[in-house]
Structure formats: C-alpha cells, structure tokens
Amino acid sequence: MFGRLFASLFGALAIAGAFAYYNYKFSQYKFIDFTEFVGYTDQNVFEPMSDKYLVLIYNSRDLKTKEILQDINLLKTDQVLAIDYFQSTSSILKIGEANVSAVKFGADTFLKITNIFNINFLPVMFSIEKSQGKKYKQTGEIYIFEKFKQDKL
C-alpha cells in the first residue's frame, strides 16, 4: 500500500521536475527571425547587416524617454534597432554615437515580437546576436531604461 503511494508520488514529482526543466531550458533562448518578421525603414525592407544589435522598444511620443536616451552613451560601433510603438521611423533618436536603425513592423508582427520577448511595459532594451542566417538570439536580459543606465554606465 505504502509502496504504491510513494511510487505514484515519486512519479508525479519526476513529471513535474521534467516539465519545470523543459520550461526553464527553452524559455532562455528567445529568437527573432527576420525572414519571418519583416520590418521596414523609411521606404525599404530592413535587412540586418550587423552581428549584434541593441533592440530598443519605446514610445516616441514620451518626452521623458527621449531625455533618458540622450543620457545613455553608446559607441559608434554599437548598432541600435529602434522599434517605436507608434510605428514612426521619422523620429530621430540621439543615443550617444551609436548607429540607430529605426524600424517599424506591422501591428501583428509587433505584437508577436512583444509576446516572444515577454515585454509588458515600455521602454525596454535588450541585446540580440546573430545565430544563423537572419535568425537572432537574445543574449542579455531585458532592461528598463533606468536599470540599463545603472548596469552599463
């Protein structure tokens, strides 16, 4: 009697452990594939040229965001992929000396990206790195601006 009880308890714990490990392992690797998620600059399709990008998802109508961005010092070698919630590619961002690519996505694609990376608030920053082809993998945690300034500066 007790043997069956412990066996079923052990089996349930093993299944729960395997499920938790599976969720932990595969939640670490979040990808964006630019063959599936097509973005646009002013009039052209966005083609990723760099091996690394700092992705910035922000609201261009928030003046506080623009002020915070001016205080962040990025180098000329840093590539920034700026995605505006209001889908504006004409708003000019000054982020140190970084090379900024303003990209807009369709509403459904934008929602898929925010869902993949579990973005529940704006503005946020995170880094992606080329995995293979046009597929990029998230390599760092997702930062709100204030935390990014504290950790990186």
User: How many domains are contained in the chain?
Assistant: 1
User: Is 17 part of any domain?
Assistant: no
Q: What is the pTM of this model?
A: 0.74
How confident is the prediction for the chain on average, in pLDDT?
Answer: 81
For residues 21 and 41, is the Cβ–Cβ distance under 8 A? no
**pLDDT single digits (tens) 74-118:** 777 789 999 988 887 666 677 767 788 889 998 999 999 999 988
pLDDT score of 150 more than 60 = no
User: Is 11 part of any domain?
Assistant: no
The single residue listed with the structure tokens 């490990």 is 21
What's the rounded mean pLDDT across residues 17-42? Answer: 78
User: Is 24 part of any domain?
Assistant: no
User: Is 66 part of any domain?
Assistant: yes
Domain that holds residue 45: 30-152
Give the domain CATH number at 88.
3.40.30.10
pLDDT band at 153 (very low <50, low <70, confident <90, very high): very low
User: Is 23 part of any domain?
Assistant: no
User: Is 122 part of any domain?
Assistant: yes
User: Is 50 part of any domain?
Assistant: yes
User: Is 12 part of any domain?
Assistant: no
